[in-house]
Amino acid sequence: MSWLSRLNPRAPGSRAGRSAAPSGPCTADPETCLMVFENHWRQVSWVLEQREPSSSSDDLTAVRNHTDQMLCLLAEERLGEGSEGSPNMGPILELVVTDNILEHLVQWHLRRGLDSESQGALLKLFEMLIGQSQQPLLQHRAVLQPLLGLLGACADPQLGCPPVLENSLVLLLNQVCVSMARQPMVLEMLFRSTPAQQGPTNLLIFSLLVPFIHRDGAIGQQARDALLLVMAASASHEAVARYITENSYFCPVLATGLSALYSSLPRKIEVRGDDWHALRREDWMGVSSLVLFMNSLEFCNAVVQVAHPLVRSQLLDYLHNGFLVPVMSPALHKSSVDEMIASTAYLDLFLRSVTETALLKTFLRFLLLHHHDNDTILDTLLTRISSNSRLCMVSLSLFRTLLSLNCEDLMLQLVLRYLLPCTHVMLSQRRAVRETDLYGKSADKFLSLIPECCRLSTVPPGEREDDTVFWGKVLNSPSTESPVQPRPSTPSRLALFIRQQSSGGGSGGVVPSTPTSTEPAPSSPRGSGPPSSHPMSPDSPMHQQQVSIDCLDWESGYLEYLHDARRGIELCSWACQNWSAPYDGENPSPNMAPSPPPPPTSNPSLTVFPEHFSFQHSGSSNSPPGQQRAAIVAAARSEWSSSERDSGEWDVTIGKNNCISLTPRSKKRSLQREELPPKPMPPLLPAPSSSFSTSLSASNTPSSSVPHLPASAFTVTHQAMLNGMTGQGDSCSDSQDRGMEVKKVKRELGEQHHLDENSNQNDPPQPMHNDDNGDISDEKPLCPKQIHNLSHCSLPLSDISMPSSDGSQRCSVPSSLPDTNLKDQGLQSVERLIEELLEQAPGDHQLSGDSNGQGISIEAFTQELRELEDRMRERSRAARQPEETAGVPPSAARQVDEPTPSSPLDSELAGTRVSTKAKAESSVMGLSSPARPLGQPASQPYIGPFMVVLFAKLENMLQNSLYVNVLLTGIVAQLACYPQPLLRSFLLNTNMVFQPSVKSLIQVLGSVKNRIEAFAASHEDFPAMLRKAQRYLAARGKVDWSDSPVAVPPLRRSDSLVKSRKPSLGDLILRHTNSPTRARHAAQLALAHVRDGGQSLHSALFRGGPGSGGGVMGLEKQAEALRIKNAVYCAVIFCEFLKELAALAQEHAVSLPFPQSQGAEE
C-alpha cells in the first residue's frame, strides 16, 4: 500500500489515470528519465550484488524504493522513435531488457525468501507496470520471465495462493490477460516460456486463475474476465485449446462449480405476490447465492461464445453431464411442491439468461432427450401445468420462455410430432391444413364466441375519433343495437376493491380508480394528469382524449390485436425460416412420420406431484400387489425409484399447501421447511391396512369440520383443495389433484376402483367398481378423462376404509340424486358452515402465512374456499346417507355423492348451469376434454400431452385466477403465431373437422363461453362487475403505459445482462414481451401492481369494505367474492383472448412467408 501511495506523487497517472490518455506525466525528456533510471539501478544493483543476501530491512527498503521509482519510469516511458515508423523500445526498456534488470530483481527477492508482504508489493508493482505501461512489455522475455517467476512463487502447489495475496494476484493476472488480448503473440510466449519447473501445467496464468472462477465479488469477476480474455485469445490457438481441455481443470471446474452453486440456492422461493411466476432480475439480485450462480452461468455462456471449439464442446459436455443431469434433473423432480416451484423457476431463469446457441442446445437437449425415470424432463414439466398451485404459473412461464425460442426440435417434441401424421384431421380435410382464413371466417367464429353478456359497449361518441376511420359506419351499429344498460353501479365487492386499490397502492404506484362518481378520484402517481378537466384520467400520452375510461379499449382494441398478431406472426415466421421443414401436412410427409408416442399409460400429472405417492412407502405394503394398478405403478415408479435411490432417511414434510411429502433427507434440504414442522408419519397411517383413509375420512366428517383441523388429520384432503389459485370447487379446478389423490388412496388400498359414473355419459358405462383384479383399469391408459372422472369421487373414496364388499355395494347406489335436492341440501349446509366458519374465520388467515395481515394470499384463500366446499359436500352427503353409512364413519358415505358435479357453493353461484347441465357439462369440464375417452384403442389420434394440458386448463378458465389466465392465453396465442400450417390449422382453422376424439380449440372456447354466460345469468350485477373489471384493468394499463419502457428487451436477450433495468411492471406477467396490447398489458400491469405494491387485489377486495367492519368479513363472502372475481376477470380475459385469436387468424391469411433459411446466410 505504501508502495503505491508513494508511487502516486510521481506517477499521477497511476491508478486513477490508468485509462486516461498518456499525456501528462511524462513531460520530462527521455534522456533525463534514463539518467534517473540508471542512477536508481546503480544503487539497486549495489545491493543486489552483495554476496550474502542481506536480511537487513534497510536493504529491502532501499531496493523497494529504487525499484519503485524505476518501474514508474519504465511504465511512463513512451515508445521510442523507430525507423520507418515502427516504434522501438524506449531507452529505459532497452536497458531493462539488455541488463535483464527485472529478472535480477525478482531473483534477488526470491533468494531472500519472499514474505507475503514483499510478494504482495511485487505483485502490485508488476500490476502497475503492466497496466500502465505505455509500450508493450510482455513480449520481452526480460519482462515476462521474471513475471512468471513471481507468479510461480504465488502458486503453491498445495495451498494455492495465500489469501492475503489473492486480490493482488488476480488483479495482476487480469492485467496480464488484458495486455495479452491486445498482443496475441504474448499468449504464444506465455505458453512456451513457462519455466520448466512448472511441469505439465504450463500455462501458469491459466491455472492460477481457474480457482477463482466461481469466486464471489470483484475478485471473481476479475478472474472470470481474465479467463475470458484467455479464452478469446486462444480461440484460434489449437495448442492452447488442447492444453486447456487436456491439461487444465477449467471445464470441469466450471461445470461442477455450477452444480455446487446450484446446490446452495434456496430450495424455496419466498413468494411475494400472488402473481409471482418467474424470477426477474430484481428478484434475484438480492439473493447472493443466486447472483453467484448467475454470474457463473453468464461466464459459461461467455466462454461458450468465445472459446475454441474444443474448449466449448468440452465445457458443454461437462455442463450436461456434470450439472444438468446429476443436479438439475433431480432438482426438477423433487418431491415437494416448493422445490419444484423453485427449480422450475430457476430453469426458466437460466433459459432466459443463456444467449449462446450452443449452450441453449445443451439445455434443450437435456430437456427433450434426457430421461428421468422413463419420462423426458419436458414431459414431466409440462404435466405440471395442470397443477393448481403456483407451480402451474411457474411452469407456464417456463413454457412461455421455451416457446419464445422458436426451436424446431422443441416444437416437434411438444406439438408437431403429434400433428405430423395428420390423423387428428378427417381424411377428407387433410388438404385444408394449408388453407388460411381468406375471408375471415375463422376470425368471425372466434369473435362470435364473445359472450353476449360481455358485449356491453358504451361508446361515448368522440372517444373513438381515431377508430371511426377504420370502423366506419359499421362500427357504431353494435353499440346502437345493444344499448348498454347503465346499471346503477351497486357497491359490489369489486367496487370496493377498486376503490380500495386507489387508496392502497404501495410503492408500485397508485392505481387510479375508475371515474365513477362514487369513487374517489385517484391521482395518477407519476405525472399529474390534467386535473381540472378530467381529474381521473391518467396522464398517459396515449390516452389524452378519454372522456371516460369506460369501455374505452375493450371494443376498439381490435386494431391493436391485429397489429400485434401481425408482428407476432412475422417475427415467428422469420425465426422459423431456418427450420428443416414447413410442416404443412405434406412435408414432412404424414406417412413418413414416426407415430408419436401414445398417451401416457399413466396420467402424467401423477408424476407431477410425486408427494402423492409418498405414502406408498408405508402404504403400499398394505395393498395386495396384484391389485395395484399398472398405471399407478408406472406413474409412481419415478418417485419410488428416485427417492429410494437417494438415501435411507426420509423427511416428512408438510408443504406450504399441506401436501405431505416424503423426501430423502439430505444435509441442506430441510432448511426452508422449518417453518412447517414436519409431521411424523404415524398419525397419518394409524393402522396398517386402510386406516389411513379412515383418518382421512374422519377428518372430513361434519363433526370435524372445524377449520383448524390438526394438520395431520386433514392434510390429504387439503391437498386436493389447496393447490389452487383457482377457487373453484371440485369438478373443475382441481380435478387432477383429486384424481391423483384418488389414485393414491386407491393404490394404497388397491381393491376398489371407483370411477365416476356420472361424468361420462358419453362413454360406455365405466367400470364402476372394479372387481378385485382391477383388470379393466389395469389395461386402460389412465388418461386425463379418467382422471377427471376420478376426481369426482376423490373424497368419497375415503370410504375405502370400509370392507371391500361394502365398497362395491355402495358403488352401485344409484348415483344420480335429483339435482335440486342436492342443491337444497347444499345450501343448507352452506349456511351452517358459514356460521361455523365465520366464528373461526380470523384464525384462518394464518394459513396464508400472511401474518402481517396485509392481505389474504390467493392460495390461502383458495384453500379456505375448498375447505369450505368440502365441508359442505360432506354435510350434504352425510345428510343424505345416514342409513347407508350407519356402521361406518359418516364420511364414508360420501362416495354416493358422486353425482354432484360441482359443489353446492358452486351451484349456488352458477345455479342455472348446475341445474341444467350437470351431466352434459360434467364431461366437458375439468381435464377430460381433449384427452381421448376411456377405452379407445391406442391408435386413436392424440394431440399430445402439451395440448391436452393446455386445453384442459383453458377449459377451466372460469375458475382460474386472473394470473393463470393471462399466462395461459398468452401461451396459446404464442402457439397460434407459429406459421406452420399443421399447427396453425389445428388451432385457428375453425372449419377444420377433427376426429371425434380430438377436441378443438374452438370447442374448448365454446364451453368456456357457455360457462361464462351461465355465470353471468346467475349474477344480476354481472354487467356492472364486468365493466368495473374492465375499467380497472384499463385504468391500470394506462397508468403504467405512460412510463412503461418503450422497448422491452426481448426474451432471448439475457436477462442477467441487462443491467439495471428498472423494475418494469410490464415485465411481470408479460405474455407478449414485445407486443403488449392495451388490454392485455393492462391486465399484466394490474398484476404487477399487486405484487409491487405489496397490497394484493385480494386484500383490497376482501378487507376494508364498508360492510366488513374491522376486516371480519365472512369467509363465505370471501369465497364467493373470489369466485366471482375469478369469473369476472375470466370473462374479460376471455373476450380479449378471442379477439386476439381472431386477429391471429386474419393475419395468418395475409402474412407472407419468409423464404426458407433466407436469414441463415447472414
Partner 1 sequence: MNLNPFWSMSTNTSRKQRSDSEEQGGPEEQRASPARPPFGKKQLPAIPSNAAPITKPASTATLAQSANGTHASYGPFYLEYSLLAEFTLVIKQKLPGIYVQPSYKSALMWFGVIFIRHGLYQDGVFKFTVYIPDNYPDGECPRVVFDIPVFHPLVDPVSGELDVRRAFTKWRRNHNHIWQVLMYARTVFYKINTMEPLNPEAAVLYERDVQLFKSKVVDSVKLCNSHLFDQPKIDDPYAISFSPWNPAVHDEAKQRMFTYKRRPEDHHKGMQVLGLSWVRPGSTQPFSKDDNAPQS
Round to whole Å and give the CA distance between 373 and 640: 10
Q: Which is nearer to partner 1, 175 or 406 (CB)?
A: 406
| 827 Cβ contact list (under 8 Å, min separation 6) | 904, 908
- The whole-angstrom separation of Cα 25 and Cα 37 is 16
Residue 245, all three cell numbers = 481441455
In terms of CB distance, is 412 or 927 closer to partner 1? 412
Q: Least separation, in Å, of the C-beta of 1041 and partner 1?
A: 18
Residue pair 888/801 in contact by the 8 Å Cβ criterion: yes
The binder of partner 1 chosen from 199, 531, 680, 1050 (CB under 8 A) = 1050
1136 counts as binding partner 1 under rule CB under 8 A: no
Binding of residue 148 to partner 1 (CB under 8 A) = no
Q: Is 1052 in the site for partner 1 (CB under 8 A)?
A: yes
Interface with partner 1, residue 477, by CB under 8 A: yes
CA distance 813 to 790: 17
Query: Residue 475 interacts with partner 1 (CB under 8 A)?
Result: yes
Whichever of 406 and 928 has its CB closer to partner 1, that residue is 406
Q: Cβ of residue 816: shortest distance to partner 1, in angstroms?
A: 37
Burial class (CB in 10 A: 0-12, 13-18, 19+), 1046: exposed
- What does the block give as the cell for 1046? 418503450
CB of 358 within 8 A of CB of 304? Answer: yes
Of 590 and 1111, CB closest to partner 1: 590
Tell the smallest beta-carbon distance from residue 917 to partner 1 (Å). 23
* Residue 361 makes contact with partner 1 by CB under 8 A: yes
Say whether residue 178 binds partner 1 (CB under 8 A): no
- Is there binding between residue 377 and partner 1 (CB under 8 A)? no
Q: Interface with partner 1 includes 236 (CB under 8 A)?
A: no
At a CB cut-off of 8 Å and minimum separation 6, what does 315 contact?
Answer: 250, 251, 254, 255, 300, 303, 304, 307
Mask for 901-920, x = binds partner 1 (CB under 8 A) = --------------------
Q: How far is the CB of 1148 from partner 1 (least distance, A)?
A: 9
Strand partners, 660: 654
Residue type, 980: Q
Residues paired with residue 710 on neighbouring β-strands, in sequence order: none
Does 551 bind partner 1 (CB under 8 A)? Our answer is no
Closer Cβ to partner 1, 405 or 606, answer by number: 405
Size of the site for partner 1 (CB under 8 A): 80
Q: How far is the CB of 1122 from partner 1 (least distance, A)?
A: 32
Nine-digit cell string for 393: 404459473
- Grid coordinates of 899: 353425482
Closest distance of CB 434 from partner 1, Å? 7
Smallest distance from the beta carbon of 936 to partner 1, in angstroms? 24
558 near partner 1 (CB under 8 A): yes
Shortest gap between Cβ of 359 and partner 1 (angstroms)?
Answer: 10
Interaction residues for partner 1, span 481-500 (CB under 8 A): none
Q: Is 1136 helix (H, G, I), strand (E, B) or coil?
A: helix
Instruction: Assess 373 for contact with partner 1 (CB under 8 A).
Output: no
Tell me how far apart the alpha carbons of residues 598 and 940 are, in angstroms, rounded to a whole number: 9
Binding segment (CB under 8 A) for partner 1, from list 330-338, 546-554, 649-657, 1153-1161 = 1153-1161
What cell does 388 get?
393448481
Cβ neighbours, 10 Å, residue 460: 13
The pattern of x and - marking residues 985 through 1024 that bind partner 1 according to CB under 8 A reads ------x---------------------------------
Figure out which of the listed residues 204, 279, 410, 453 binds partner 1, where binding follows CB under 8 A.
410
For partner 1, which stretch binds (CB under 8 A), given 180-188, 560-568, 758-766, 1000-1008? 560-568
User: What residues between 340 and 359 interact with partner 1 by CB under 8 A?
Assistant: 355, 357-358
Biggest alpha carbon–alpha carbon distance for the chain: 115
Q: Does 468 bind partner 1 (CB under 8 A)?
A: no
Q: DSSP secondary structure string, 896-961?
A: GGTT--S-HHHHHHTHHHHHHHHHHHHHHSTTTTTSPPTT--TTS----HHHHHHHHHHHTTTTS-
Q: Which one-letter amino acid corresponds to residue 246?
A: E
Give yes or no for residue 1061 binding partner 1 (CB under 8 A).
no
CB of 313 to partner 1, least distance (A): 8
The only residue of 94, 317, 373, 409 in contact with partner 1, by rule CB under 8 A: 409
Candidates 75, 279, 347, 562; binder of partner 1 (CB under 8 A) is 562
The piece of 6-14, 83-91, 113-121, 1146-1154 that touches partner 1 (CB under 8 A) is 1146-1154
Intra-chain end-to-end CA distance of the chain, in Å: 52
What is the rounded CA–CA span in Å between residue 409 and residue 581?
11
Asked whether position 443 contacts partner 1 by CB under 8 A, the answer is yes
Give 206 or 471: the residue with its C-beta nearer to partner 1. Answer: 471
Cβ atoms of 837 and 705 within 8 Å: the answer is no
- Cell numbers 481457474: residue: 210
CA dihedral 224, 226, 229, 235 (to 10 degrees): -70
417 binds partner 1 (CB under 8 A): yes
Q: Which is nearer to partner 1, 363 or 951 (CB)?
A: 363
Query: Where in 936-965 is the site for partner 1 (CB under 8 A)?
Result: none
Enter the C-alpha cell of residue 377. Answer: 424432463
Alpha carbon 735 to its chain centroid, in Å, reads: 23
Instruction: Quote the CA–CA distance of 901 and 792 in Å, as a whole number.
Output: 7
Tell me which H or E stretch contains 372: strand 371-372
Q: Which residue has the cell 352401485?
A: 812
Between 306 and 475, CB nearer to partner 1: 475
> Among 279, 360, 950, 1121, which residue interacts with partner 1 (rule: CB under 8 A)?
360
Among 114, 447, 711, 827, binds partner 1 (CB under 8 A): 447
Determine if 196 is a binding residue for partner 1 (CB under 8 A). Answer: no
Measured over the CA atoms of residue 544, residue 549, residue 551 and residue 553, the dihedral's sign is positive
In the three-class reduction of DSSP (H, G, I as helix; E, B as strand; rest coil), residue 602 is classed as coil
DSSP state of 247: H
Q: Which of residues 571-630 bind partner 1 (CB under 8 A)?
A: 571-572, 574-581, 588, 592-594
Positions in 386-405 near partner 1 (CB under 8 A): 405
Task: Please identify, using beta-carbon distances, which residue of 718 and 1052 lies nearer to partner 1.
Answer: 1052
| 1124 residue type, one letter | I
- Cα distance between residue 186 and residue 212, in whole Å: 22
Nearer CB in complex with partner 1: 481/883: 481
Using the rule CB under 8 A, is 653 a contact of partner 1? no
CA dihedral 7, 13, 14, 15 (to 10 degrees): 130
Is residue 555 a contact point for partner 1 (CB under 8 A)?
A: yes
**Of 210-218, 433-441, 821-829, 832-840, which part binds partner 1 (CB under 8 A)?**
433-441
Residue 1040 Cβ vs partner 1, minimum distance, rounded to whole Å: 21
Residue 1057, class by beta-carbon neighbours within 10 Å (0-12 exposed, 13-18 middle, 19+ buried)? middle
Minimum CB distance to partner 1 smaller for 570 or for 850: 570
CB of 577 vs partner 1, minimal distance in Å: 7
**The one among 188, 373, 444, 824 contacting partner 1 by CB under 8 A:** 444
CA-CA distance, 960 to 386, in Å (whole number)? 11
Residue 375 parent element (H or E): strand 375-376
Query: Is residue 1099 a contact point for partner 1 (CB under 8 A)?
Result: no
Within residues 298-317, the interface with partner 1 by CB under 8 A covers none
Please count the residues of the chain.
Answer: 1162
Scanning the structure block, which residue is given the C-alpha cell 347503465? 486
Q: Does 431 bind partner 1 (CB under 8 A)?
A: yes
